[in-house]
Amino acid sequence: MLETLRSLRPFLFFAVGYLALAMFVTNSYYQLIMTLVLVWATFGLSWNMLSGYTGLVSFGHASFFGLGAFATVLAQVHLGISPWIMLPVAAGIGALAGVLIGLPTFRLRGHYFALSMLAYPLTLLYIFQWLGYPEISVPRVEEGAAYYMQFSEGRVYTVLAMILLGIVVLVTRHVERTRFGMSLIAIKQNESAAEAAGINTLAWKLRSIAVSGAIAGAVGSFYAVLILVITPLSVFGMLVSAQALTVAMFGGVASVWGPIIGAAFLIPVAETLHAELGSFLPGIQGVVYGLAIIGLIILAPEGIYWKIRDHLQKRKGKDALPTAVQESAAAEPSAPVTPVERPARELSEEIVLKVQDISKSFGGLKAVQNVSFQVNKGMILGIIGPNGAGKTTLFNLLNGFQMPDGGHVLVNGEDLVRRKPYELCRAGVGRTFQIMRPFKRMSVHDNVKVGAYVHAASEDEAEQITREALELVNLQDISQHIAGSITTKDLRLMELARALAGQPEILLLDETLAGLGSEESQDVVNVIRKLAETGKTIIIIEHTMQAMVQLVDRFLVLDHGELIVEGPPQEVIHNEKVIEAYLGKKWSAHA
């Protein structure tokens, strides 16, 4: 919390400066514009809370905005309730609407999510028109106007809007710095990886849309009081949703500053054009927003804030790079790796994973057929087989990405078949991916921390777990680097650390050695061996045997979805069926 407050310092400077400037503005129209900048900035932050962090683009934030606005005005007109009361109520309505809309709509991804979100406010628009509210105004109050949030002095609204913005910035900052924000960013960058790292993605998305809807509802409520007259089109219309999205994207998504920068640029321009030219160019505002979006997407798709930040970081990165290269060049060349078979180890009797008769077909293709095996605690099990043998599918069945057609997966005796990935992760099954799934924009440290939240009760504990996991894989030195900038080997190790941070008993490693040179792969092998010594059970997929022979305790060979051979490395590599699966019948005779 303290850190959150400290990070607000730039915002406080901004707020004081902006309000000081606002105090000199006496023209009531310019006062309104200054307030509107803050209103749309806040609305942009609301959009950002959902779409910026989770990456699910919403074209429907007008739903929450409009509901807040109508609730506030109608409550005053019919029941005489003050906007001071309605503002938090509107936030509640927004949150509720968010959850109600989110529940069905989060089943959709990408395109369909965006389209569906567009349909909600348009539906509401027609419903409100049908209900007979073509236009509704806030009743003017003569006595006790302040009680109804009515002030003759326009600057009061600017101050109120700033307070609202301040609260929302505080909330956003807090979200950003806790597991809430981390989970959302993880979802955005890679939903499957997030699930596998133990994040209940649906639950976090719902929280996110609830907070987002609450902010939008409150902003809508304030907007109605500020503007005094609302129509279904002015609060539910597409331009409203577009405005939230535009200011956020223009400034920079997934940042506190983005929507503020975007609003500060766009709102004055659009409003001024509207005021100057609106009478004979009625759509000028929309054209400006449209052009802003088009230009932005083509020139700086992530917004001004990130463009500048990336630019600055690149310059910093250029200075840092050469030293790193020198270091690795100076490193001792290690001895060439020869596949040495390792002596058999003593293994625990305890069975941690038992797979019974598991099967999966895709249409007519039997990807995995009646595979059964069991794994002792602390064992390193290698699953090998040619391309298309069903190795990755088997993993997907084990960690819940795909549902098996039949069979059981027992983890410590408990049948976990048909559970979601995050549940399996919590039960102790961690995994890495064949195609790496880093959260590219996050630091190595934060990538790992996402995994740490699975079992950590507090931020401190998560931090502790993260540090330990990074040390286990020897990445502590580059923990602050951005994941997008590190080498393939370090990425593999980072994914390993992320899986480890979830404190799994069983680790599924999907082609962790793929694409690595022999030296690099030796480093990774050493780490894996170290892990096994600490009592982790490891199952590793590879299709090359070389590096595996010296690593694993047992092999499992799959071909065409079937388990063909199981046994210690020594036996398996000389097995005729294995040679046949790899090289074809012709060669098995010669071998």
Partner 1 sequence: MTETQILIETVLQALAAGLFVGAIYGLMCAGLSLIFGIMRVINFAQGDFMMLGMYAVYFFLIVFGIQALVGNTVSPYIAVVAMAPLLYLFGWAIHRFLISQVTGIRTTGMEAEGHYAQLVLTLGIALVMHNGAMILFGPELVSVDTPLSSSAWVLGPLWGDGVLLFLNKARIVSAVISAAVVVGLWYVLKTSRLGKSLRAAADNPQASIYVGNDVDRSYRTAFALGTMITAMAGGLLTTNYPFHPFVGLEYVVLMYAGVVLGGIGSVIGAFWGGMTIGLIQQFSTIILPTQLQNATIFVIFLLIVILRPQGFFGRSVERT
Q: Which is nearer to partner 1, 149 or 436 (CB)?
A: 436
- Which of 195, 446, 510, 542 touches partner 1 (CB under 8 A)? 510
- Which of 5, 21, 77, 115 touches partner 1 (CB under 8 A)? 115
Under a CB-based contact definition with an 8 Å cutoff, are residues 321 and 372 in contact? no
CB of 48 to partner 1, least distance (A): 14
CB of 126 to partner 1, least distance (A): 4
CB of 190 to partner 1, least distance (A): 8
How many CB atoms lie under 10 A from the CB of residue 485? 16
Give the interface segment with partner 1, choosing from 15-23, 241-249, 259-267, 335-343 (CB under 8 A).
Answer: 241-249
CB of 199 to partner 1, least distance (A): 16
Residues 258-317 that bind partner 1 (CB under 8 A): 281-287, 289-294, 296-298, 301
Distance between CA atoms of residues 214 and 168, nearest Å: 10
CB of 527 to partner 1, least distance (A): 22
Residues 374-393 that bind partner 1 (CB under 8 A): 392
- Which of 245, 260, 442, 551 touches partner 1 (CB under 8 A)? 245
CB of 400 to partner 1, least distance (A): 12
CB of 498 to partner 1, least distance (A): 15
Give the interface segment with partner 1, choosing from 51-59, 206-214, 338-346, 492-500 (CB under 8 A).
Answer: 51-59
- Which of 44, 55, 83, 561 touches partner 1 (CB under 8 A)? 55
Distance between CA atoms of residues 153 and 93, nearest Å: 29
Distance between CA atoms of residues 49 and 249, nearest Å: 12
The amino acid at residue 324 is A
Distance between CA atoms of residues 221 and 151, nearest Å: 16
Binding mask 454-493 for partner 1 (x = CB under 8 A): ----------------------------------------
Residues 6+ apart with CB under 8 A from 123: none
- Which of 35, 46, 72, 105 touches partner 1 (CB under 8 A)? 105
Give the interface segment with partner 1, choosing from 20-28, 69-77, 99-107, 204-212 (CB under 8 A).
Answer: 99-107
- Which of 361, 434, 474, 476 touches partner 1 (CB under 8 A)? 434
Under a CB-based contact definition with an 8 Å cutoff, are residues 87 and 154 in contact? no
- Which of 4, 116, 369, 485 touches partner 1 (CB under 8 A)? 116
Residues 157-216 that bind partner 1 (CB under 8 A): 188, 192
CB of 409 to partner 1, least distance (A): 17
Q: Which is nearer to partner 1, 50 or 91 (CB)?
A: 50
Task: Tell me the number of residues near partner 1 by CB under 8 A.
Answer: 56
Under a CB-based contact definition with an 8 Å cutoff, are residues 360 and 402 in contact? yes
Distance between CA atoms of residues 10 and 1, nearest Å: 16
Of 64, 68, 62, 66, which is closest to residue 87 (Cα–Cα)? 68
- Which of 19, 96, 100, 108 touches partner 1 (CB under 8 A)? 108
CB of 538 to partner 1, least distance (A): 18
- Which of 43, 53, 223, 433 touches partner 1 (CB under 8 A)? 433
**239: contact with partner 1 by CB under 8 A:** yes
Distance between CA atoms of residues 43 and 217, nearest Å: 9
Long-range contacts of 373-377 (CB under 8 A, 24+ apart): 373/556, 373/563, 373/566, 375/351, 375/506, 375/537, 375/539, 376/347, 376/348, 376/349, 376/350, 376/351, 376/352, 376/537, 377/347, 377/348, 377/350, 377/351, 377/352, 377/505, 377/535, 377/537
Residues 118-147 that bind partner 1 (CB under 8 A): 118-120, 122-123, 126-127, 129-130
Of 124, 125, 99, 116, which is closest to residue 59 (Cα–Cα)? 116
Of 272, 223, 275, which is closest to residue 244 (Cα–Cα)? 223
Under a CB-based contact definition with an 8 Å cutoff, are residues 73 and 136 in contact? yes
CB of 55 to partner 1, least distance (A): 6
Distance between CA atoms of residues 583 and 562, nearest Å: 17
Distance between CA atoms of residues 403 and 387, nearest Å: 21
Q: Which is nearer to partner 1, 20 or 298 (CB)?
A: 298
Distance between CA atoms of residues 419 and 411, nearest Å: 12
Residues at the contact surface with partner 1, assessed by CB under 8 A: 55, 57, 59, 104-105, 107-112, 114-116, 118-120, 122-123, 126-127, 129-130, 188, 192, 238-239, 242, 245, 249, 281-287, 289-294, 296-298, 301, 392, 395-396, 401-402, 433-435, 510
